[in-house]
Amino acid sequence: MAPRAKSSSSLPQPAGAQVLRVLPAVDECLKAAESDEALRGFSRDYLKLAVQRALDGLREMIAAGRHDAPERREQMAAEVIRRVRKLVAGDEPGLKPVVNATGIVLHTNLGRALLAEPAIEAVERAARSAVNLEYDLATGGRGDRDTLIEEELCALTGCEAGTVVNNNAAAVLLALSTLADGREVVVSRGELVEIGGSFRIPEVMARAGARIREVGTTNRVHPRDYVDAIGPETALLLKVHPSNYRVVGFTAEVGLAELAEIGRAHNLPVMEDLGSGALIDMAAYGLPREPIVRDRIAAGAAIVTFSGDKLLGGPQAGIVVGRHALIERLNANPLKRALRCDKLTIAALEATLRLYVRSRDLATELPTLRLLRRALAEIEIAAARAREILAERLGPEFQIEIVDSTSQIGSGALPAEELKTRALRITHRDLAEDAIAALFRGARPPVLGRVRDGAFMLDLRTVEDPAALAVEFPSRTNR
């Protein structure tokens, strides 16, 4: 059951105060609930929560002076049981499917990448059965969960070794804590970014025990800035993909290859936090270009970190690839044990990586890529159908137009790039856009769109099957 809403603190009306005093006690109602036929079999704790909620509701009803509020104790007890039955019947899990009509393909608040079918099947198999997560079937000895995905990572990125943790923030933390604890990390001032959702590079570095040696200015950094900053305390040269923002205009950056050159001359590893970390060339699929992990390894990065659920299109995970000796040190850090992934994540990630290696049609099989590449003509057809469905459900008071719009990729990937799309622009004579958004949020299942330019919009890029919009709206009389 969802957390209890705070009960209203408003004082009851004097007339209501009288009535409130005869409200039945929790224990009395609980006893009645436990002997109610429709509530048989539920735990006492669960019923107690429901009784408390029902009483809260009743109290509010009385305090508001509602004419239909019961006045006598027996009526109240019956009303509480009626409410408990309703609560129990309508009690849905807190985490539930929603319709993502924001057009944002990798929406962090909506769980980012949708998994490919083989990954979903792999998760289900692993959930149902014991698996060889850390068991070497050849020797009968202890195995390592990372070896299940390492071969694919090496094949896909050209790295010597790889490891995986719960998310990219954890990957960055693990790498910095292993390679730079108590020492200095040289990083460009323009790359000390906040990624959103409270991931700030300087704070993660501090948590990892690394001291930041900022070089350059916000917009410009030169090779000599790095060279001048290197000293006996330096452990690492760091590069960070700015992900969700761009510095444009009078700018200068030191490229990875050049930085790797400086690193080699001073015997220092270069680490890059790539964020999205595409495994393939997005431009080859007609999408905006994004740095490819393989190219960064080839350019000389000793360690590259990236997310599993951004452009890669897999489960939430943080992947670290790079030199064998460094990955070994990461794996020996006790933090690795705290940050390691469970069997479900490993199952989904392995299946997703196998698709990259083996699929004959990745652009169809990987939902992230499929949604990013959806043709405008196809989105248009979905929009027309969605419009019909919603017009029928919403009635003539709503106007629904199909308009040109743009979708974002999301999760800080390619922020400056937007993809052309078609959206439904929904307006109402009396309802403001926020009220329309609330109406859609209240639907079953909830539909999430965007409020843009003073209107509520549903972007069909992220709705592959318009039938998903055949939702139930809360009955208007209840609003």
Ligand X SMILES: *Cc1c(COP(=O)(O)O)cnc(C)c1O
Rounded-to-integer distance, Cα 128 and Cα 123, Å: 9
Minimal distance, residue 357 CB to ligand X, in Å:
22
The residue among 102 and 411 lying less far from ligand X, judged by its C-beta, is: 411
Told to check if 239 binds ligand X by CB under 6 A, we report: no
Minimal distance, residue 332 CB to ligand X, in Å:
22
Strand order through the sheet with 455-459: 398-410, 413-428, 455-459, 450-452
Pairing of strands 318-322, 398-410: unpaired
Minimal distance, residue 53 CB to ligand X, in Å:
35
Minimal distance, residue 388 CB to ligand X, in Å:
38
Query: Do residues 207 and 173 lie in contact, with contact meaning Cβ atoms separated by under 8 Å?
Result: yes
424-453: which residues touch ligand X (CB under 6 A)?
none
Query: Do residues 159 and 298 lie in contact, with contact meaning Cβ atoms separated by under 8 Å?
Result: no
Stretch that binds ligand X, among 207-215, 226-234, 270-278, 451-459 (CB under 6 A): 270-278
Minimal distance, residue 255 CB to ligand X, in Å:
17
* DSSP 8-class letter at 462: G
Minimal distance, residue 170 CB to ligand X, in Å:
7
The residue among 58 and 192 lying less far from ligand X, judged by its C-beta, is: 192
Minimal distance, residue 148 CB to ligand X, in Å:
20
The residue among 199 and 456 lying less far from ligand X, judged by its C-beta, is: 199
Full DSSP string of 156-219: HH--SEEEEESSHHHHHHHHHHHHHTTSEEEEEGGG--EEETTEEHHHHHHHTTPEEEEES-SS
Tell me the per-residue interface mask from 70 to 109 with ligand X, x by CB under 6 A, - otherwise. Answer: ----------------------------------------
Return the residue nearest ligand X (CB atom).
275
The residue among 170 and 386 lying less far from ligand X, judged by its C-beta, is: 170
Told to check if 318 binds ligand X by CB under 6 A, we report: yes
Tell me the per-residue interface mask from 156 to 195 with ligand X, x by CB under 6 A, - otherwise. Answer: -----------xxx--x----------------------x
Tell me the per-residue interface mask from 279 to 308 with ligand X, x by CB under 6 A, - otherwise. Answer: ----------------------------x-
Calculate the CA 68 to chain-centre distance: 44
CA distances from 135 to 140, 145, 319 (A): 7, 8, 21
**Shortest CA distance to 351 belongs to which of 114, 120, 106, 113?**
120
The residue among 241 and 343 lying less far from ligand X, judged by its C-beta, is: 241
In 63-132, beta strands by DSSP E: 99-100
Q: Which run of H or of E encompasses 117?
A: helix 117-128
Rounded-to-integer distance, Cα 462 and Cα 372, Å: 9
Rounded-to-integer distance, Cα 114 and Cα 310, Å: 10
Residues constituting the chain: 479
Number of residues that bind ligand X (CB under 6 A): 16
Q: Computed over its alpha carbons, how large is the radius of gyration of the chain? A: 28
Phi, psi of 183 (to 5 degrees): -130, -175
Stretch that binds ligand X, among 147-155, 237-245, 257-265, 364-372 (CB under 6 A): 237-245
Told to check if 275 binds ligand X by CB under 6 A, we report: yes
Minimal distance, residue 308 CB to ligand X, in Å:
7
Rounded-to-integer distance, Cα 108 and Cα 57, Å: 34
Rounded-to-integer distance, Cα 293 and Cα 171, Å: 15
Minimal distance, residue 206 CB to ligand X, in Å:
15
Of 273, 290, 350, 433, the one binding ligand X by CB under 6 A? 273
SS3 459: strand
CB burial of residue 134 (10 Å; 0-12, 13-18, 19+)? middle
Minimal distance, residue 307 CB to ligand X, in Å:
3
Tell me the per-residue interface mask from 400 to 419 with ligand X, x by CB under 6 A, - otherwise. Answer: -----------xx-------
The residue among 178 and 243 lying less far from ligand X, judged by its C-beta, is: 243
Told to check if 199 binds ligand X by CB under 6 A, we report: yes
Q: Tell me which residues touch ligand X (CB under 6 A).
A: 167-169, 172, 195, 199, 240-241, 243, 273, 275-276, 307, 318, 411-412
